Structure 1
Amino acid sequence: MNHRAKAAWDQLGLYRTPPLAELFHDPDRLSLLSARFDLPQGGGIRFDWSKTHLTGELLAGFEVLAEAAGFAAARAALFAGDIVNPTEGRAAEHIAQRGLGRDSSVEEAQALHERMKLLVEAIHDGALGEVRHLIHVGIGGSALGPAMTVDALARDLALVDVHVVSNVDGCALEEAFAACDPQTTLLAVASKTFTTIETMTNAESVLKWLGDGGVDDPGGRVVALTASPEKAVEWGVDETRILPFPETVGGRYSLWSSIGFPVALAVGWEEFDAMLEGAAAMDRHFLDHDGAANLPLRAAFADLYYTRLRGCQTRAVFAYDERLRLLPSYLQQLEMESNGKGVTADGQPVSAATAPITWGGVGTDAQHAVFQLLHQGTHLVPVDFIASIAPGDGLDPAHHRILLMNCFAQGAALMAGKASGDPARSYPGDRPSATILCDDLDAATLGALIAFHEHRTFASAVLMGINPFDQFGVELGKEIARKIDRGGETFDLSTAALLAASGLA
């Protein structure tokens, strides 16, 4: 971290924020800390940080930090397709999949999207016979993004029933098998390298299931989604059913590439394209606005205030919408794999906390499970509430009314608290939350919402001086698993005993 950025952090650390109730004495607070993002397609998203401890003075201090940390230059490098992942010497070009970035990368993305569109439409038209089910095997970003998006968008209009399987535990595949007919099932294998052991093991088991189910040519039912098309050919996939994506698109940022194939197959190309357009609208906002007017950057200001200046070790996300029930899990990977680092981008130890632990759930379920700790526990946990004004169901409007009432009430209660002569019934209050309120949860809005969180994660990384695009922390456990598989290795006494007890020794 350069001296100017360190000085900006030091200055921020001197600020003492009044309680939230006192901050609301400012009649301009709501207008200062809430904003609306409008989508070109119609509709939009309201962001409200007024129930956080951010103030005009803090926003100004963070703007100084952003300038000192070189945020504008880092953002420009991201959009230009320059190397922003120094440890691997790569660009991060997920934005090009949405139409912005280096011209050659955008052109490549458009060509690959056209290839995917043609395959999706051919399948819908019966080119591969009757297709009613897709088993999509992948792990990490190759599974979390598609699973979340299909669950959010395909409930009422699924053209193909999609089952995303990531866990190598056979129980996960058996559950998918029970819901599918092998005669009408396709297999999508999503792996950047086409060597990921969990994914390839699951893929082999699906091929066997298809064969056992009477499919004459199981290999003819496979679609490969990969940055290593030659490996897919070696594995036996026909070139016409290989959908490549660039090496510069990282796993947890890959939904917009061919990894989004199951989404397009489930809801149709127009919906997938609308999601890309919604994300592109957020991209343009992120590129064109500076300082606190930049919504993902402002979210990063709030995140870093609580993580670095208030010592908060976790951040909670509660989706008050069943369609977003997988969003907290998706954000766990996006934020913790990106920013869960202990060194700066140039390899030096960090001087303060980096990513908080992201966790969460679905309202109203979570209210009856974890909100006790949020209201009366000893941890200060900043919360994001995410909801949609338009319901996702066709039932009595009372359902959605109760849902939204609870969402807004929880934020108000966390802030206000309630004194009582009985300590067990006393609420301290002054607990922060932000609210993200969508007009509706359509494809464009979902795309914008996901892109917002991607840029929020990137902005936080820049302000902390870390690299959000590598993930070497996942490799050591895999390396030791390979040693166990090879045999002949010596491990600590505990691991050796576990291997012996389970029959793996």
Structure 2
Amino acid sequence: MSESISTAWQALANLPKPRLAELFAADPARLAKLSARLELPEDGMRFDWSKTHLDDAHIAAFEALAEAMDFAGRRAALFAGEIVNVTEGRAAEHTAQRGVGNAESVARAMGYHSRMAAIVEAIHRGAMGDVKHLIHVGIGGSALGPALAVDALARDGAMMDVHVVSNIDGCALEAAFAACDPAATMLAVASKTFTTIETMTNAESVLDWLRGSGVTDPYGRVVALTAAPEKAIEWGVDETRVLPFSESVGGRYSLWSSIGFPIAIALGWPDFAELLEGAATVDRHFLETDGAANLCLRAAFADQYYTRLRRCQTRAVFAYDERLALLPDYLQQLEMESNGKAVTAEGQPVDGPTAPITWGGVGTDAQHAVFQLLHQGTNLVPVDFIAAITPGDDLAPAHHRILLSNCFAQGAALMAGKPSEDLARAYPGDRPSATILLDALTPASFGALIAFHEHRTFANAVLMGINPFDQFGVELGKAIAKQIEQGGASFDPSTEALLAQAGIA
């Protein structure tokens, strides 16, 4: 660690840690300083970090840390399409999918999008027959992003019934079969390498189901979403129905690419284009804004405060919107697979904690399940609340009013607490939270919300000095599973006994 970086962290560690109520009392302008609005083409979203322990001194010290870590240089390299995934020698060009980044990469992405738009519109016109259902098989980023977006944006008026299947457990696939008419079903196979065992096994099972249901040309129903188009063609997909994306687009950053095909099928291409533009708005903000005015970097300052300075081991996300029920799952992969590292980008052991465990749920359900720990437990857990002003339902306004009232009340209660002589009824307070409030959940605001979290994750990685774009930690278990499948390998006594009990040995 360089002297300037060490000095920046030491300066942060030496700052006092006043309570939240004291911070508000000491600075009447606190709310204005620590909240901001991001304008989108037709609406916008508000960010409020005033209930975190950030203050002027911490923000200035974190800005010094960002400078010491060459945040501006790392950010420029990301958007220029330079190699930022140093362990794998790759760029990370998800922003190019949204039209922001290296000009050549943007042009290639736009070409891929044009190809995808043509197929999406042909299917919607009926040029590929009477298609009512899409079964999309993938895993990890090839499934989490599409599943979240379809669930969030296509609940009403979807142009097609979409089922995202990721689990190799056959129960997941059978549930999709039960909901689909095989004579009117297409299959999308999403795999960057087109070799992922869970995805390819599920894809073969869908083909078997189609054949067994009387479909004479099941391969004629397949669309492939991959960075290895030659493997898809070799597997049997017609070249005209292979939708490529660039090798520089990582799985958990890929919903903007052809991996987003099921989103476009469910919403229609104009809404998918709006989603891309919402994300591009955040891209431009992140690229062009410096210091704490950069909303993604400011979020990372709060994240680092709690992870590094207060040693918080988890971060909770609660969406007070049923349409965003899958958001905590999505953010788990984005943040924990990106920043769950113990080695710096230079290959040296890190000298402090990196990514916390991301978890969460949906309000108001979570209030009756896990908020006991948040309010009175011994663990300090920073919380993000996410909500939308405009309801997603047509029921009586009381539903949404009560929903938002609970969301805002929880943040207020976590901060204020409530003393009592009866310790079982005492709330210590001084528990931090941040709030992201959307005007409405639209394709544009959804795209902006996801892009904000992508850049927040990258900013955290820069401040920690790690590479957020590799994921070697997922490989070892997969390799051992392959050894088990192939047979002949020996393992520890516990694993051997489990294999024998299950009839696998």
Specify the TM-score bucket, using the shorter chain as the normaliser.
over 0.9
Aligned position for 1:100: 100
Q: CA deviation at 1:2?
A: 2.6
Q: CA deviation at 1:49?
A: 0.2
2:367 & 2:450 partners in 1: Cα distance? 24
1:488 & 1:331 partners in 2: Cα distance? 38
- Give the match's secondary structure for 2:57: helix
2:215 & 2:17 partners in 1: Cα distance? 66
TM-score, normalised to structure 1, is 0.99
1:484 & 1:89 partners in 2: Cα distance? 31
Q: How does 1:218-257 map to 2 (within 5 A)?
A: 218-257=218-257
Q: CA deviation at 1:372?
A: 0.2
- Give the match's secondary structure for 1:47: strand
Matched, 1:4 2:34: no
Matched, 1:343 2:381: no
Q: CA deviation at 1:3?
A: 2.3
Aligned position for 2:47: 47
Q: Deviations over 1:457-488 (max 9, x none)?
A: 00000010000000000000011011111111
Aligned position for 1:308: 308
Code of the residue aligned with 2:387 in structure 1: it is A
Q: 1:375 touches 1:414 (CA, 8 Å); kept in 2?
A: yes
Q: 1:33 touches 1:49 (CA, 8 Å); kept in 2?
A: yes
Aligned position for 1:82: 82
- Give the match's secondary structure for 1:24: helix
Code of the residue aligned with 2:381 in structure 1: it is V
Matched, 1:357 2:357: yes
Q: 1:2 touches 1:69 (CA, 8 Å); kept in 2?
A: no
Q: CA deviation at 1:140?
A: 0.1
TM-score, normalised to structure 2, is 0.99
- Give the match's secondary structure for 2:276: helix
2:274 & 2:314 partners in 1: Cα distance? 33
Q: CA deviation at 1:214?
A: 1.2
2:310 & 2:504 partners in 1: Cα distance? 46
Q: CA deviation at 1:133?
A: 0.5
Q: Deviations over 1:291-323 (max 9, x none)?
A: 100000000000000000000000000000001
2:103 & 2:411 partners in 1: Cα distance? 44
1:282 & 1:500 partners in 2: Cα distance? 52
Aligned position for 1:14: 14
1:242 & 1:319 partners in 2: Cα distance? 35
Code of the residue aligned with 2:343 in structure 1: it is V
Aligned position for 1:130: 130
Q: CA deviation at 1:489?
A: 1.1
Aligned position for 1:333: 333
1:394 & 1:5 partners in 2: Cα distance? 53
Code of the residue aligned with 2:322 in structure 1: it is E
Aligned position for 1:186: 186
1:114 & 1:380 partners in 2: Cα distance? 48
Q: CA deviation at 1:6?
A: 1.7
1:120 & 1:283 partners in 2: Cα distance? 26
Q: CA deviation at 1:437?
A: 0.2
2:157 & 2:317 partners in 1: Cα distance? 27
Code of the residue aligned with 1:29 in structure 2: it is R
Code of the residue aligned with 2:280 in structure 1: it is A
1:275 & 1:237 partners in 2: Cα distance? 28
Aligned position for 2:468: 468
2:323 & 2:486 partners in 1: Cα distance? 43
- Give the match's secondary structure for 2:192: coil
Q: Deviations over 1:77-134 (max 9, x none)?
A: 0000000000000000000000011111000000000000000000001111011100
Code of the residue aligned with 2:401 in structure 1: it is R
User: How many residues in Structure 1 have an aligned counterpart in Structure 2?
Assistant: 504
Matched, 1:157 2:151: no
Aligned position for 1:32: 33
2:114 & 2:157 partners in 1: Cα distance? 22
1:348 & 1:12 partners in 2: Cα distance? 22
Q: How does 1:346-495 map to 2 (within 5 A)?
A: 346-495=346-495
Q: CA deviation at 1:4?
A: 1.1
Q: CA deviation at 1:42?
A: 1.5
Q: Deviations over 1:230-251 (max 9, x none)?
A: 0000000001100000000000
Aligned position for 1:293: 293
Sequence identity (%): 75
1:84 & 1:149 partners in 2: Cα distance? 27
Q: CA deviation at 1:205?
A: 0.3
1:260 & 1:322 partners in 2: Cα distance? 21
Q: How does 1:261-300 map to 2 (within 5 A)?
A: 261-300=261-300
Runs of 4+ in 1 over 3 A off after TM superposition: none
Q: Deviations over 1:276-300 (max 9, x none)?
A: 0000000000011111000000000
Q: CA deviation at 1:490?
A: 1.2
Code of the residue aligned with 1:465 in structure 2: it is G
- Give the match's secondary structure for 1:386: strand
1:31 & 1:337 partners in 2: Cα distance? 34
1:153 & 1:137 partners in 2: Cα distance? 19
Q: CA deviation at 1:371?
A: 0.2
2:454 & 2:233 partners in 1: Cα distance? 32
2:95 & 2:477 partners in 1: Cα distance? 31
Aligned position for 1:214: 214
- Give the match's secondary structure for 1:243: strand
RMSD across aligned C-alpha pairs, in angstroms?
Answer: 0.5
Q: CA deviation at 1:423?
A: 0.7
1:7 & 1:411 partners in 2: Cα distance? 34
Code of the residue aligned with 1:120 in structure 2: it is V
Q: CA deviation at 1:75?
A: 0.2
Q: Structure 1: any 5+ residue segments left out of the alignment?
A: none
Code of the residue aligned with 1:295 in structure 2: it is L
2:421 & 2:349 partners in 1: Cα distance? 48
- Give the match's secondary structure for 1:333: helix
Q: CA deviation at 1:5?
A: 1.3
Aligned position for 1:113: 113
1:284 & 1:483 partners in 2: Cα distance? 46
1:442 & 1:262 partners in 2: Cα distance? 17
1:349 & 1:330 partners in 2: Cα distance? 27
Aligned position for 1:65: 65
